[in-house]
Amino acid sequence: MASPARIDVDKLSVEQLKALKEQTDLEVNLLQDSLSKIRTAATRLENATAALHELSLHPQGKKLLVPLTASLYVPGTLDDAEKVLVDVGTGYYIEKTMTQGKEYCERKINLLKSNFDELLEMATKKKSIADEMGMFLQAKLRQASPSSSS
C-alpha cells in the first residue's frame, strides 16, 4: 500500500480544512473508544485470572456461590478445581486445566496490552494532527475575516 500523500494545508480552503479537522476528530474519537474497550476487556481478563487463582485455593467439595449473571448466584459445590471452562468468544467454551486457563488469560492480557500501546500511539499522533488542523483553521479564519482598521 502506498504511503499517504502529504497535504499542503496552506492551499486548502476553510471548508476543506473544516472537513479535514472533523474527519481527524472522528478518527481520534474512534481510537479513544477502542482504547476504552481494550481497557475493559483487559480488566475482565485480570478479574478472571484472579478468580481462577482464588478457585484453585478451594478444596474439592467446598460449597460456594456460582454466578449465573452479574446479579444472580446459585449455591453449588466445587467438583474439580483443576478443570475449568474458558470462554473463547462467540459463545464457545473450552475445557482446560487450571494452569492452561491462567496461561490463556495471561496471553490475552499481553495481547490486549500490546494492542493498547499501539492504539495509544496512533491516537496521540491523530490528536496532534487534529490540534494542528484546528490551529490552521483558526489562522485561515482570522485571515479571511475583515481586519479592523488600526
Q: What is the CATH number of the domain that holds 98?
A: 1.10.287.370
- Among the listed residues 43, 33, 1, 23, the one whose alpha carbon sits nearest the alpha carbon of residue 123: 33
Based on the number of CB atoms within 10 Å of its own CB, is 66 exposed (0-12), middle (13-18) or buried (19 or more)?
exposed
Sign of CA dihedral 73, 78, 79, 84: positive
How far, in Å, CA of 12 to CA of 7, rounded? 9
Does the pLDDT of residue 35 top 70, yes or no?
yes
Count of the separate structural domains present in the chain: 1
Name which of 61-65, 72-76, 91-95 the model is least confident about.
61-65
How far, in Å, CA of 68 to CA of 44, rounded? 16
Between 143 and 96, the more confident residue is: 96
- CA distance to 14, 18, 148, per residue, from 145 (Å): 11, 16, 9
Number of neighbours of residue 79 by Cβ within 10 angstroms = 9
Does the pLDDT of residue 1 top 50, yes or no?
no
Name the residue range of residue 91's domain.
Answer: 26-141
% of the chain residues with pLDDT over 90: 47
Whole-prediction pTM: 0.75
Q: Is residue 8 part of a domain?
A: no
How far, in Å, CA of 22 to CA of 20, rounded? 5
How far, in Å, CA of 134 to CA of 9, rounded? 11
Q: Is residue 11 part of a domain?
A: no
Beta carbons of 106 and 50 less than 8 angstroms apart: no
Using pLDDT thresholds of 50, 70 and 90, give the confidence band for residue 3. very low
